[in-house]
Structures are given as C-alpha cells and as structure tokens.
Copies of this chain bind each other. A is one copy, B any other.
Amino acid sequence: MAPPSARQRILDTAFRLFYARGLRAVGVDTIIAESGVAKATFYKHFPAKDDLVLAYLARVDGIWSGQLHDAATAAGPEPRAQLVGLFDALGTACRRDGYRGCAFINAAAEAVPGTPVHEATVAHKHAVLQWVRDLAAEAGSGDPDGLARSLTLLLDGGLAAGALDADPAAATRAREAAEVVVAAALN
C-alpha cells in the first residue's frame, strides 16, 4: 500500500485537530509538524489556512451526510421510518470517542458571518434540511417543510448538547421525541 500523499496527511491531521480543538486553536505550524510535511508543501496545497478549513468541512460534510443516509436506510424502506431512523446516526456519533458535537455548529461559532467558512456551514445545514424535507414529502406529510424543520431542530439540539456533555441519553431522547413529532404530523 502506497503511503498517503502529503495532501492526504495534511487533511487527515487537520480533520483530527480541528475537530478536537477548534479552528482557531490549531495553528498551521501544528498541523505541519504533526503531518510531517514541509511548510512550502502545505502552502502549495492550501494557499491559506481557510482553504484547509473549507476542505476539512467538505470532508466532514461527506462523512456526516453518509452516516445520516446509512442510518435512515437501515431503518427500512418506508420514508416514515427513515425520518426517525436517521437519529440513530446521532446516537452512534455520541458514543464515539472524542465526540465534541457538530463540527459545523462549532465552526460557525468561530467564523465571521459572511465569510466562506461560515457560508459552508450554512450550506451544509440547508442541504440536510432539504434532504429531510424530501423524506417528509415522500412520507406524505402535508407540511414537509414544517416537519423537516422540527426534526432538524431536534437533530441540531442533540448535536449541540453533545458538545457540552456527550450524553448518549440525549440521542435516545431525541429519537423518541422525533417519533412523537413524526406521529403527530402524519397521523
């Protein structure tokens, strides 16, 4: 197996450190040192730190979206079940070691509104909302937007709570509340 390229090592290190410590708390020098890369190489792949931050967020987006989809489809073929099942991704995330909440919420807390980094977090949340909305429409909701917003509210609440206190009970509770909300909206 070929050793990971310099770019890959940088991205891997950034993924680990940015999530664990925060965007501002991790300097370029630290990432360079820990990924065992030369400074010139770093700046060749990522002309500015923010470019690396954006690449980091893009990777997180891919991973998290994948986990949401997987959790949803694992709940079965019915959209209604999937709307509740996606919350299993939250439980899995909560139990993961080093869990520190939602990378996007954390990034938004450090980013200035209007900057590309902040825009990326907003775009991610909109994409998730859109996906849940489609699921809600498939499930036959009369108000798919309202139902989707209620569910993403619960999801974000669970993610935010995890940043303060990674309690798996919060994830379970979120799933139960989602069940109640879905039942009220579809029955």
Contact flags A60-71 to B (C-beta < 8 A → 1, else 0): 000000000000
User: In the bound complex, what is the Cα–Cα distance between A160 and B161 (angstroms)?
Assistant: 10
Q: Does A104 contact B (CB under 8 A)?
A: yes
Oligomer: number of copies: 2
Contacts A21-B112, A22-B109, A110-B25 given; does A173 touch B161 at CB 8 Å: no
* Contact (Cβ within 8 A) A173 B153: yes
Q: How far is the CA of A100 from the CA of B111 in the complex (A)?
A: 11
Q: A135 at the A/B interface (Cβ < 8 Å)?
A: no
User: What is the bound-complex CA distance between A98 and B55, given in angstroms?
Assistant: 28
Say yes or no: is A6 at the interface (Cβ < 8 Å to chain B). Answer: no
In the complex, how many angstroms separate the beta carbon of A18 from the nearest chain B beta carbon?
Answer: 11
Q: Are A164 and B110 in contact (CB under 8 A)?
A: no
Binds B, one of A29-37, A42-50, A174-182: A174-182
Closest 10 CB pairs of A and B: A157-B157, A153-B157, A106-B109, A109-B109, A156-B157, A160-B160, A150-B177, A156-B160, A24-B24, A149-B173
